[in-house]
A = this chain, B = another copy of it.
């Protein structure tokens, strides 16, 4: 059982909704984290891991229009120095995003594990099931992280790959202004790849992917590196970019409509066939 299947099973057993945030008494709450062994790439510092955990958590809040009130962290580390570096990254990110950081727990362990929890105020509740007739929109900026996963070990790094590395080190969440919430039937941030978002949203509907939400320089760099653009754009993850299902009349500046939601039974199609990519999941 992979991570996604297991998580859905857990939530079913708990009778809780499968969503990017949980709703409790007018609040949105979220916890997100990872372990060094799976998350730390050679270019990452421990402070980068702290920053990324904050960005990952806030990204989930922001895509639900939640306004963060505070962050808590639990830092596990083999020594005090690494714990200190993770803390610095969390603190820098909290300051950057303007969110109060309350501190949290500190523990010793074999490797660094960072967990960040956040609470936010919510004006609306938005799930993960889009309405048929809606379109999926996103900033057309996918693929940089995918290129960096593929090419970061090469000696010479192109500017496009370098952009992906910077993105993986310190995700900035500088999203264009989201659509009005009343246009939105579903939303998710992409942390495990566009393909994961598409398959997750395709429950009780089908989704037809019409184009890759990526800039031209990403496509040409992928071809240049000899990898499929679809792999890089759809299957990477850690973009922390928003994907909204909206009424087709509600596509704001900075977003492209790249897929449509139709009546169906849970499939994702691309170029007339079932999409072969699934995005990232642990335990697969």
Contacts and interface: CB of A to CB of B under 8 A. Distances in A.
Contacts of A103: 7, 10-11, 14, 16, 22
Contacts of A261: none
Interface string A56-85: 000000000000011011101001100110
A178 to B, nearest CB: 24
Contact of A74 (B27, B74, B87, B119): B74
A28 to B, nearest CB: 11
Interface stretch (A33-41, A128-136, A193-201, A223-231): A33-41
Nearest to A36: B109
Contacts of A283: 79-80, 83, 108
Contacts of A27: 27, 119
Given A14-B101, A80-B283, 20 more contacts: A6-B106, A10-B106, A11-B103, A16-B102, A22-B70, A22-B103, A24-B100, A24-B102, A27-B27, A29-B70, A31-B74, A31-B104, A32-B74, A35-B76, A35-B107, A38-B109, A72-B117, A74-B74, A107-B282, A109-B111
A122 to B, nearest CB: 13
B110 A37 contact: yes
A35 to B, nearest CB: 3
A66 to B, nearest CB: 14
A128 B117 CA distance: 24
A74 B33 contact: yes
Contacts of A109: 34-38, 111, 113
A13 interface: yes
A54 to B, nearest CB: 13
Contact of A32 (B1, B105, B110): B105
